[in-house]
Amino acid sequence: MFHRSLRSRFAAGGALVLIIVGGSAALVPQKPEAAALVPAAHAPGPATVRRLSADQYRNIIHDVFGRSLDLGGYFEPDLRISGLLAVGSGKVGITPAGMEQYDAMARSIAGQVADEDHRAQMIPCAPKSADAADDACAGAFLARVGRLLYRRPLSEDQLEAYVDAAAIAARTTGDFYQGIEFSLAAMLSSPQFLFREARTVPARGSVHVLDAYAKASQLSFFLWNSGPDLLLLEAAAKGVLDRPRGLSREVDRMMESPRLEAGLRAFFTDNFGFDKITSLTKDAAIFPEFSAQVAEDAQEQTLRTILDVVLTRNADYREIFTTKKTFLTQQLGSIYRVPAISDAPNGAPDTWQEYEFAADDPRAGILTHISFTALHSPAGRGSPTLRGKALREIMMCQPVPPPPGDVPFNIINDTSNPLYRTARKRLAAHAANPVCAGCHKITDPIGLALETFDGQGKFRTTENRETLDTSGTLDGVAYQDAAGLARAVRDNPATTTCIVNRLSAYALGRATAPGEKAWVAHLQKAFADGGYRATTLMRAIAVSREFYTVSPPALEQSASAPASTGETR
Amino acid sequence: MFSYGRLSAFALGGVLLFAQSALAETRSYAVSWFTQAMNSQAGDCPDGVNLPWKEHRLKILRDYGFTGEQIEAMVQEELAGKGRSPIQAFIVMRGRMNGQPVSPYTYPATVIDPKLHYVKGAKTSYGFNLDGQEGPASFIDPDTGEKGVDNELSRALGCMREFRGSKATPPLYWEWTWGQLKSNQPAWLITIEGDDLGSDGDVTVTFDRALEHLRHNIDGSPRKDVTYRIDPDPRSHNVYAGRIEDGLVTLTAPGTAGINLLQDPLVAVMFRMTKVNMRLGMMSDDSLDVMVGGYQPWSDLYFSFAGGGAANESASTGDMPGIYYLFRRHADADPDPATGQNASISATYYMRAIPAFTAAPNLKRPTLAAR
Amino acid sequence: MKVNRRTVLKGSLAGASVGVGIPLLDCFLNANGTALANGAALPPIFGTWFQSLGFTPGRWRPDAIGRDYESKAEMKPLDAFKARMNLISGCQYFMDGRPVETHITGVQIGSTGAIPVGVISAPSIDDIVAGMIGARTRFRSLEVSLTGNRESASRRAGSASNSPSEPSPAALYARIFGPEFRDPNALAFEPDVRVMARRSVLSAVSDARRDFSKALGASDRTRLEEYFTSIRQLEQQLELDLQKPAPLEYCARPGTPAEGVVGPVTDDVARNATLFGGLIANAVACDQTRVFNLMMGQAGNVRQAGSIENWHGWTHEEPIDPQAGYQVIVAWYSTWAAQVFADFLTELDKRKEGSGSVLDRAVVLWQTDHGIARSHTMDNLPIIAVGSAGGRLKTGMHINTPGDPSTRVGLTLQQALGVPAGTWGALSNATSKTMTEILA
């Protein structure tokens, strides 16, 4: 009986495939299963008002107006909280300088929509006169795009305001289309567009649920990293999303859409901190091969590798740590020192090629990618500590405390000291300081396994002519090299609990609350039962009632207490 | 852990991984520097280095019979900067055919020979004894000590400012052309194959052209280990039998084959020489240091210079018809049966190359082109 | 009866004869409530300076990165401006397999961010900026050549060729301050209709904006308030744009410049650069233009008096001095040119506007065509940006970004000047990477 209810709620519309991957089933935390489904135990966190990310802004504009539009403008910096920009997006505002940019972009977009090249295809009607206001035509256009931009139908007052605004501007300028332009620009600068408004309605018990349109947004930003399409808004309007079967059907539709890739890309880009890769630079005197293009390609390489595992092959998520298959450009090939052929003419940009690292190649999985080894290294050398810290925090959700303020790092930084020719020796000397030893024990042994990759991610076997020792243990599991470490990470239970915590926090826009533990445990089980497929986990989140359930507004302050980090140690 | 030897072979010649024979070793390279081999020394131009172009023009005017006063007036008019320079107007049409002015670049023989200075005082020049003879005028190679070296191209151009230079300070003309071409002209590829390139033995050396240009690092240095596709055009495919000793590759039958590589017309449509000899040194930094000598049709060089016309003459080469006369004077091979004028000049070119992967065109997996 | 702001605006704008129909609210006045806050911030100015042949390797790039670097010999003439400029080293022009046209391709990429395909190229950076800040001044931009010809690196959108430059200070004077010059303070003010429309639209939808979910926690309420504050500032800016601008207190018609020789001889170039500096400073102070472009000899046609060889010729023919290790004459020219640039900047700085100067609200982008003149390389380029554009840029730094496209600098300046650009350039010269370290 319990199982049937689980299936109907979390696996409707698709057969639940149970695959026990060699030995890993034992790693699933054995939680009291009943907890997952006892609604009384579910004490949700607050609804979040998230600022659109740059990609979400771009995606919506392209979805609504097509790809021919040039956005112009740049975005305010994001904020990373609990390891995710998606969580930070619920904490950031819009500064006056940022508003100037949003306004500039809004005018640029609106100007293009209303210009002579685009107006015929963008605006569904022609005005009675091009040099006067036409409320009927303006209203038709603004209601249509307004619904997509606000992600819900405009209220009567809202629509009237925008139609009035278009009329005023049309009269001022003597041009209907400028009226449309300025009214649309104002809409694109409105908080309803720039923030994800989370309207809620009271539900049974002492909780609230997102209203139908907020549900649609919750779903589409999670799965597509963009606003709802017309079908989803229609489903919201008809109350389809309020019914488990209807919700499940919509989720199926959305997960079969090619836009799921954008959603997965957005999550992994956020989770792996790839926002930092665009500004990653190396000391050109030491790593002259590390160009901005290499950094950009390195991120794309890892995303393509992950998407190949989790989407194209819909395989066990943990394969991303061990897969030999990847994708390369010429620039990356020259750092990995493997052939990567272009099939483009001379001078054309690099092209992507599928590549399989040989069985005995030292590379395996994303930890050995440039996007990991180079991103988590200082400009002029590699760093076992930074890499170990990144592995713990990003892949295993185990926060590592920052170093105390007054520790000297001169031994670590001096890679030319003949006494300490390898990082292992430098760190050993450094960790003789007991203040440091505690944390370095957490990070260094695993980071040292990656020492065969230098600061830009190029393979080496020695440092200062001394052969590198890459052996170590991860939580009691011994390994000899990076590939062994990768297998240990794959098999570590923290790896799977971490991705569940991260993806649910990413979906909610906040760390999960203590009262949502049972839900997270349920997701964990669904993930394990589904053979650790990322799509199974996404689906489990998307179809669960808890995803749309929030604390009542009055409770918001107490529920946002910092205790709810959602991270495990 | 991984064996370093295995990786080293892997890194230095990725194609090894795909070669059939387990014994054969292949290293591929992309040419990362190309210049005429010059070894200019103080005192090698006893008649003096030819004047800078702007001053040399005045000598041309004198050769053509302008008086000192006339020349001074023309200089003043040019300096005043009003309209076109009268000197330049004369210079660019200084050829005379049937009494009519013609382009000196297209018709260099219609120009009065300016009798440019050439190398008279040098004992050394890079290259090879191509004709097997040691004359009083032949050079000694400064690197190998080889006697009887034929490199008349270095003699002809060695007193032109634009062509003087050494390995360390390359001739300006060649530095300029390389700067123009390195990031757009399809790269040249060199492949060395042998049983074991770490020991002495027989090898095969192949020169090809790639489909894509040389890639560079962010500091402008050439980028190692990039993959290049081999252009299937047979005109740029050259194979030589050679022998490696202590990392230095030499040809087993020098003087029996030529070299042909498509090039950019800025330098020449085709880089070609006959009776080629060469040596290729495998350096400790994995790069390759190459000297190639042979007989080059001097018209190839002349017409690539002339293709740039007056702009090339003033900025890159110096007196162009003057160079034409130098080439005619110093050409030392391929006499015309009727006139006896030699059509080719002995020359040596210096190349450096860096490790690369090479792939046959249109193949997803890199492999060696068919031999 | 409730007076709706929307109604007020509608009413006042209904009859198109709008002088100033919008009520003056307190927030539009400055702190002491006496004058419009408008006069406080003079608009930013953008200039470009294109100089062929760059600097000598080893003689310009400072050893230190960041602030407090020691200038090398050829940059020393600019030491007076060191704290007010940024020096960017290491950038590159990318060829993408296209052939190099010596002295041309570099100018094209530097000015437009792309190698043109066909006849029509992208507009140059000054034209993009002028679209933002110079569209309403008498001259969208002023092009000046320092070496006697009419070359420029400025190209307007949709144009098949670069704009011609003015080589003569006297002619430039006549163009700006000749009979057609009108005292800007005496001109009638006509508010921009499009600004008017934007202003009314933002007012008209203000209630609609407020119609946001009310069930917000304290921190979300604060965030929304920040948003509304930001929108209010935007509206205030528009309000100011609709007022008659404060008089240009520092506008004065200069005297006619002395007649002089126009041509490529160094002494004439130096003198004319100073004259141009003064004229441009006055043109800016009188708001005749907000964008200017200077060209210092596209192919290095500059030469010393009495010499028939010019700067460019020397780069090809001067041997590297074995003692010095570089081309000594060429190095003299580079250093001289830096001094000419410094003298030009001094003229902008001498034109005071209250406590600041024309240079204070300008940013002048100095670029060149080749990293090494002798071999005409396209990497390791020097780029200089002088001025903070009225505090929009942080200055005083040497930034080393080897291998990055030069367009990063141009993109950053565009953004500082309010151009809504997220990317600039084409193919490998395209970038969306702002130099955040210099954006204020």
Condensed to tens digits (0 to 9), the pLDDT of residues B224-247 reads 999 999 999 999 999 999 999 999
B370, pLDDT greater than 70: no
| CA-based nearest residue in chain A for residue C233 | A96
By CA distance, what is A169's nearest residue in C? C197
Backbone angles phi, psi at B277, to 5 degrees: -130, 155
Binary contact (B4, A461; C-beta < 8 A): yes
Read out DSSP for A518-549?
Answer: HHHHHHHHHHHHTTSBHHHHHHHHHH-GGGGE
- Whether the CA torsion A154, A157, A161, A166 is positive or negative: it is positive
Instruction: Decide: B193 and B207 in contact? Cβ < 8 Å.
Output: no
ipTM, two decimals: 0.85
Sequence spans of domains, chain A: 1-46+202-257+496-569, 50-196, 286-491
H or E element, residue A179: helix A176-188
Is C6 in contact with A164 (Cβ distance < 8 A)?
Answer: yes
Band the pLDDT of C36: cuts 50, 70, 90. Answer: very low
- What pLDDT is stored for residue C292 in this prediction? 97
At C148, list the tokens: 């006697």
* Residue B244 to chain A, least CA–CA distance (Å): 25
CB contact under 8 A, B217 and A330: no
Digit-coded pLDDT (tens) for B192-212: 999 999 999 999 999 999 999
> Percentage of chain A with pLDDT > 70?
90
Average pLDDT of chain C is 86
- Bridge partners (DSSP) listed for residue B186: B213
Q: For residue range C118-130, what is the model confidence (pLDDT) as tens digits?
A: 766 789 999 999 9
C379 vs B contacts (CB less than 8 Å):
216, 218-220
Q: Across the interface, do A91 and C16 touch by the CB < 8 Å criterion? A: no
Structure confidence by residue, pLDDT tens digits, C337-391: 999 999 999 999 999 998 899 999 999 999 999 988 888 888 899 999 999 999 9
pLDDT tier at B366, thresholds 50, 70, 90: very low
Mark yes or no for CB contact B176/C375 under 8 Å.
yes
Q: What is the mean pLDDT of residues A527-542?
A: 97
As a whole number of Å, the CA-based R_g of chain C is 24
Residue A3 has pLDDT above 80, yes or no: no
pLDDT above 90 covers what percent of chain A?
68
Question: CB-CB: which of A288, A290, A347 is closest to B213?
Answer: A347
Return the closest-CA partner of residue A84 out of A269, A320, A311, A317: A269
**For chains A and B, what is the number of CB pairs under 8 angstroms?**
76
Q: What is the 3-state secondary structure of B280-296? A: EEECCCCCEEEEEEEEE
Chains in contact with chain B (at least 3 beta-carbon pairs closer than 8 A): A, C
Q: Are strands C85-91 and C398-400 parallel, antiparallel or unpaired?
A: parallel
Q: Hey, what domains does chain C have and what are their CATH numbers?
A: 45-161+260-429 (3.40.720.10)
- Residue B362 — pLDDT band, cuts 50, 70, 90? low
pLDDT tens digits for range A75-120: 877 889 989 999 999 999 998 888 988 998 999 999 999 999 999 9
Angle between helices A534-543 and A2-10 (to 10 degrees): 90
Nearest to B213 among A337, A346, A362 (CB): A346
Instruction: Find the helix or strand (DSSP H, E) in which A186 lies.
Output: helix A176-188
- pLDDT in the model for residue C51: 94
Write out pLDDT tens, residues B73-99.
999 988 887 678 899 999 999 999 999
Across the interface, whether the CB atoms of B162 and C316 are under 8 A apart is answered yes
pLDDT band at C29 (very low <50, low <70, confident <90, very high): very low
CB contact under 8 A, A333 and B225: yes
Picking from B6, B17, B214, B223 by the largest number of A CB atoms within 10 A of its own CB, the best residue to mutate is B223
Q: Which amino acid is at C195?
A: V
pLDDT of residue A1: 34
Q: Which of C201, C412, C415 to mutate to test the interface with A (most CBs of A within 10 A)?
A: C201
C90 to chain A: which residues are within 8 Å by CB? 284
- The first and second tokens of residue B242, run together, are 């050679």
pTM value > 0.90: no
DSSP code for C140: S
Predicted confidence (pLDDT) per residue in A178-190, tens digit: 999 999 999 999 9
Q: Which residues of C209-234 are buried (b: 16+ CB within 10 A; e: fewer)?
A: bebbbebbbebbeebbebbbebbebb
Chain C residues within an 8 Å CB radius of A198: 213
In this complex, the residue of C96, C194, C402 whose CB is nearest that of residue A347 is C96
The arithmetic mean of pLDDT across residues A183-199, rounded, is 96
C396 Rama class: left (phi>0) / alpha (psi -120 to 50) / beta: left
Cβ atoms of residues C293 and C143 within 8 Å:
yes
Give CA–CA dist A113/A65, Å, rounded.
Answer: 7
Using 50, 70 and 90 to split pLDDT, how confident is the model at A42? confident
Decide if B211 touches C, using CB distance below 8 A.
Answer: no
Percent share of chain B, pLDDT over 90: 76
pLDDT of residue C34 exceeding 60, the answer is no
Residue type, B348: T
Interface contact C418-A161, CB threshold 8 A: no
Question: Best residue in B38, B76, B218, B312 to probe C by mutation, most C CBs within 10 Å?
Answer: B218
Q: What local confidence, expressed as pLDDT, does residue A567 receive?
A: 37
Is the confidence at residue C40, as pLDDT, over 60?
no
What confidence score (pLDDT) does residue A266 get? 98
CB contact under 8 A, B219 and C316: no
Chain C residue with minimum CA distance to B218: C403
- Can you read off the two tokens belonging to residue B222? 């050439």
In chain C, residues with a C-beta closer than 8 Å to the C-beta of A171 are 13-14, 16
